[in-house]
Amino acid sequence: MMEFVTLNNGVKMPQIGYGVYQMPPVETERAVNDALSAGYRLIDTAAAYMNEEGVGAAIKKSGIAREELFVTTKLWVQDISYEAAGTAFERSLQKLGLDYLDLYLIHQPMGDFFGAWRWLEELHRAGKIRAIGVSNFYPAVLANFCETVEIKPMVNQVELHPFFQQEAALATMKEYGVVPQAWGPLAEGKHGIFTHPVLTKIGEKYRKTAAQVALRWNTQRGVSILPKSVRAERIAVNLDIWDFALNEAEMAEIAKLDLGHSEIVNH
């Protein structure tokens, strides 16, 4: 079973995907193969991860029909300009071995990101990208961006997990019809998330792990999530979150875990 979120242009995106951040190229193909075998259909990579070829190789070998897959990659900082975006996009497409992308994101609000966005809009209109979006855009930047551009971003991929919940950012995204997508939904393993007493206690009731509770909590906030693991059994477990739902009291209990800041990165 897979839940989907509908983007502001009508495209349906799986609510849970598999991320390959910090994954060595040699390991990427095997891990993506495990993820596809487990049932993931959204695969998220980036030019900066240096492993687009591994993702492409796994997709090719999987034999899964292209239209069943949702592939995301991102435009890295040195290519964030109107002049460089088109070439960078073609390079990523070539490495992935694909003839179109499902989602292309501007990785950071740096450089001439308005210029780069104009290229993305053109590629989107030409049918080379089904959806376009941004990553790591904080609320004020996102609001200014949405008020300025012709086509509003469909997705904003940011850090979202029980210890950094970003409610204000979610409210801004909702206002502009931008779907929030979580990188690091398991806080990159920090804060003892896998054995956290609050998450573990809630999980016992549903026979779920603390990690599954954290992932389910985010999906119930309307967030798309990208959990990452290199272990096949953990990859499969992270996907198994659709057969239970947290109640309001449990959602409120998890809300109390918010530290209000990131301990992973300071942009």
- At 230 the pLDDT is 86
- Inter-CA distances, 234 with 1, 49, 181, 194, 204, Å: 17, 21, 20, 12, 18
Does residue 234 have a pLDDT over 70? yes
Tokens encoding 118: 């104009």
pLDDT band at 1 (very low <50, low <70, confident <90, very high): confident
pLDDT-wise least confident of 25-29, 127-131, 166-170, 255-259: 25-29
> Is-above-0.85 flag for pTM?
yes
Task: Assign 45 a pLDDT band (cuts: 50, 70, 90).
Answer: very high
Q: Express as a percent the part of the chain with pLDDT over 70.
A: 98
**Element of type H or E holding 183:** strand 179-183
Residues with a known catalytic role: 49
Q: How confident is the model at residue 93 (pLDDT cuts 50, 70, 90)?
A: very high
Distance, in Å, from the CA atom of 253 to the CA atom of 220, rounded to the nearest integer, reads 14
pLDDT of amino acid 263: 66
